[in-house]
Chain A
């Protein structure tokens, strides 16, 4: 069983604050690292797929970086908005198609 850890477990920020959280994963047999956004009562929605060491991806106010050598990825949200409130999941893609998910970081943005 591979360990994918996310921290913090939960985060409360004010509207307008910038925030970031971490996903740690095994640095061997790396294929890809995925970030998902999961709103309550919906299914997880893909944000980023990161495959190469040093990858940086950006979508609007959300960005992510990847370090495969040390086994971590950061997700950043600039100027958080209430609609950013969700659980952010990372998934380590191992051995072609097997995903190992972290437990998620639950973000709550207060207006």
Chain B
């Protein structure tokens, strides 16, 4: 059972270009989370998705950022017109569905995509 796969591992974009980050969750996992780690900071929640649905995007910047998790294929985090401040490590995590309180759903992380905007 492969782990959470993120690609690319490293991405360099010029200011104004688009960045597309991909995340393939673990088999059987229908929940995907995206987190951002800015330099010298901890993990910050961005968005929580289930298949074809955005459940919570309260951590997403209002402009230029979007995320999707289609019925088929990986989850995509898309950043349009990138700026230098978007340079960060973007981590994806997945978890199986949990409907029992206190069942301790565990999230598994990918190795991240390091975005550098030049």
Contacts and interface: CB of A to CB of B under 8 A. Distances in A.
Contacts of A97: 31, 48, 55, 95, 97-98, 105
Contacts of A31: 101-102
B12 interface: no
Q: Is the interface of B mostly helix, strand, loop or mixed?
A: loop
Interface of B: 4, 31, 33, 35, 41-45, 48, 55-56, 58, 91, 93, 95, 97-99, 101-112
Nearest to B41: A103
B43 A98 contact: no
- The number of chain A residues touching the other chain, given as a range, is 20 to 34
10 contacts: A32-B103, A34-B107, A42-B111, A43-B111, A51-B104, A91-B107, A97-B98, A99-B45, A99-B107, A103-B41
Interface in A78-111: 89, 91, 93, 96-104
Contacts of B45: 98-101
B16 to A, nearest CB: 29
B42 A103 contact: yes
Contacts of B55: 97-98
A43 B91 contact: yes
A32 B4 CA distance: 22
A93 B58 contact: no
Interface of A: 1, 31-32, 34, 36, 42-46, 49-52, 89, 91, 93, 96-104
Given A43-B91, A98-B48, A32 B104 contact: yes
A99 B33 contact: yes
A4 B107 CA distance: 17
A32 B56 contact: no
Contact of A99 (B41, B93, B97): B93
B1 to A, nearest CB: 15
Contacts of A42: 111
Nearest to B48: A98
A34 B43 CA distance: 14
Given A31-B102, A89-B43, A44 B48 contact: no
B55 to A, nearest CB: 8
